[in-house]
Structure 1
Amino acid sequence: MNAARSLYARVGVLILAAIALGVGFVLFLTSDRDRGTNSFYETYLRESVQGLDVGAAVRYRGVQIGRVTEVGLVAVAYPPPDDTTVPSEFQGVYVRFGIDKRRVGDMPDNIQRVVQQGLRVRLSSQGITGVSYLEMDFSDPRRYPMPNTPWEPRYPVIPSMPSTVAQVQDAAENILRRIEQVPLEELLADIAGLVKDLRHQISPEGDAGRTLGAAALTMNSLREQMEQADIPGLMAELRGTAADARALIDSREMKAMLANGSASMARLPAAIQSLEQAVRAARTTTTDLNADLTPILRDLRATAASLRDVAETMRRSPSQTIFGAPPPAPAQR
């Protein structure tokens, strides 16, 4: 009996302790709000918020600046119009959170300017525990613009951007969508036709088959010619020729010939120099000879001209040339 009462007492104490902890946790979450040190905002997500609960941290590049205060469906917080279909704007999830003013300075007073500069919210996961939190960071405002909501938000809105997991899932879905759009049946039909054409080409009736057959015949013919060419004997002759050439190069006569050739090559510069001197002397002699022959040639031209005149005179008047000119007539008185 006493054991049962002791057990009941322990269970009662545990229940009371749990209730006290719960009340303390709620008071902890609402204490900043009561003191007016929090600024509240909301954002809208189009992905699963699994693991994101009330009280989850709000971080800016890893630094905790606030906590999540409310998570729910947009269609519940902002009822859509009474239509048969729910617009896409009402199909997401809203998350409301408070930011401690003491941790962010004057950002709440300039929230619109900061949002225009690219401040965005995304869902992040903490390790492998599955606990999610909100991560705030700057991004391209043109890539993630301000949402155009058909309702009046209760708190200032900070736009959201997809989480890393959501981006990976979207990329995988896009790849799968593209794969689904590939005409696999036509592709398989083309591959089957290609295999069929290749099989026909390789067959004896195809061009490739005939080419392979001709190549095989050529190889057989080449093999026969190589067998008939007595390759071993030819190689033996080449070895003998190489040995004879080596012996000739190593012989005493070849060495003497090479030595004489080297000596001749050594004397070649002196011979070339002597030849240049002889050519120079011949050029000088020719210049002097031209200088001596010039007056002689001039006299020969003059003598030839005189002989030409004498011959012309003899042809016209031979007697005068032989006997001379008649004496002059006596002068009359």
Structure 2
Amino acid sequence: MSTRANYFKIGVFIIVVFAILAVGIIVLSAGALTRDPLLLETYIDESVQGLSVGSSVYHRGVRLGTVKQITFLPTGYPDKMRYGSRAYEKYSQYVLVIMAVDRSNFAQDADDEVIWRIIDGWVAKGLRLKISYQGITGISYIEADYIDIDHPPEKELQITWEPKNIYIPATRSLYKNITDSVVSILGTLNTIDFKGIAASLTTTLDTLDKAVSDAQVPRIRADLAGLVADLRATNEFVMGMLDKSRSPDGVNIPETIAQLDITLRRLDKFVASQQSEVEGIMSNIRQTTANLRDFTDKLKKYPGLVIGGPPPEVSK
């Protein structure tokens, strides 16, 4: 009888423990069960390899929520992007990522409209979503961070539909930026004519080598050495004159230059004042020169004029 009583007590104890655990789990998770997560969405124009449903969403290292859905954009908006339409052709390469985040990360007891305005303000200040990677493991997550709104790294996607959830624009990941830069550099390198450059460089080196071989290098070296020696001697002479100009019995070069400048100014004024007379004198000199030239010509023809003889008679 006592054995049955012990079994009964043990059974009751186990049932009570499980009941307490169940009530505790229900109470602790009541908030999560009654509070719907806030849904965000973004459109990514690159590979989302490594990103999966359940991947974390971080804002500067703070975990906000998880990824809820990953699909192509036309799949999420089939009525807006029907197959074959211009919208489908334009947006079919974009990946739609929907995220579920905890409302408490934005504002306590705030409704959807208030949270919407808060996020819109952050987006206006440069808040963007991008894919990031955890080290070299290849595991991806969504990271929210700010960009320089005045100098955006790329052109923003212009959407023509009303998003179903709160929309935050996406920007390229660091991996995408690196790969695009490498591809751009390789494309630029492919356009360079390395063979032509090498041929031109070879021709230039050959021409330079021939020019050096043909040049009279020893004579040029000797001329340069002589020029340097002359410059050194001239420098010593000038420095000696300057040293003498500083001594009491030496030549005062600055004073001499000043006196020469005064003399030149006086001469210039004198020439300007006597310009008319100088012009008359020059005219007389030209006339006298002409007369002398004429007289010389006559002497060449009639040498007897020197001794006062008459000129020869002209035969009729």
TM-score, normalised to structure 2, is: 0.51
Q: What secondary structure sits across from 1:159 in the alignment? A: coil
CA 1:42–1:33 in 2, change beyond 3 Å: closer, same or farther? farther
List alignment gaps of at least 5 residues for structure 2: 1-29, 223-316
> Aligned residue for 2:185?
175
| Aligned residue type for 1:186 | G
* CA apart distance, 1:99: 1.3
> Aligned residue for 1:45?
44
CA 1:82–1:132 in 2, change beyond 3 Å: closer, same or farther? closer
Question: In the alignment, is residue 126 of structure 1 matched against residue 128 of structure 2?
Answer: no
* Cα deviation code 1:33-77 (max 9, x no counterpart): 853331101101112111110001111100101110011112333
| Aligned residue type for 1:135 | E
| More helix by percentage | 1
* CA apart distance, 1:213: 5.7
Q: In 2, are the aligned partners of 1:67 and 1:98 still within 8 Å (CA)?
A: yes
1:100-111 correspondence runs (5 A): 100-105=102-107, 106=110, 108-110=115-117, 111=119
- Higher-Rg member (1/2): 1
Q: What secondary structure sits across from 2:167 in the alignment? A: coil
Question: In the alignment, is residue 112 of structure 1 matched against residue 120 of structure 2?
Answer: yes
> Aligned residue for 2:203?
193
1:145-156 correspondence runs (5 A): 146-156=156-166
Question: In the alignment, is residue 166 of structure 1 matched against residue 165 of structure 2?
Answer: no
CA 1:145–1:33 in 2, change beyond 3 Å: closer, same or farther? farther
Q: In 2, are the aligned partners of 1:117 and 1:141 still within 8 Å (CA)?
A: yes
CA 1:61–1:182 in 2, change beyond 3 Å: closer, same or farther? same
| Aligned residue type for 2:106 | V
CA 1:50–1:130 in 2, change beyond 3 Å: closer, same or farther? same
Higher relative contact order, chain-length normalized (CA < 8 Å, sep 6+):
2
1:1-333 correspondence runs (5 A): 35-79=34-78, 80-83=81-84, 87-105=89-107, 106=110, 108-110=115-117, 111-142=119-150, 143=152, 146-203=156-213, 206=214, 210-212=215-217, 214=219
* CA apart distance, 1:145: 6.3
CA 1:109–1:155 in 2, change beyond 3 Å: closer, same or farther? closer
* Cα deviation code 1:4-58 (max 9, x no counterpart): xxxxxxxxxxxxxxxxxxxxxxxxxxx9985333110110111211111000111
* CA apart distance, 1:102: 1.5
* CA apart distance, 1:157: 1.2
Determine the C-alpha separation between the residues in 2 that align with 1:157 and 1:211.
78
| Aligned residue type for 2:36 | T
TM-score, normalised to structure 1, is: 0.48
List alignment gaps of at least 5 residues for structure 1: 1-30, 219-333
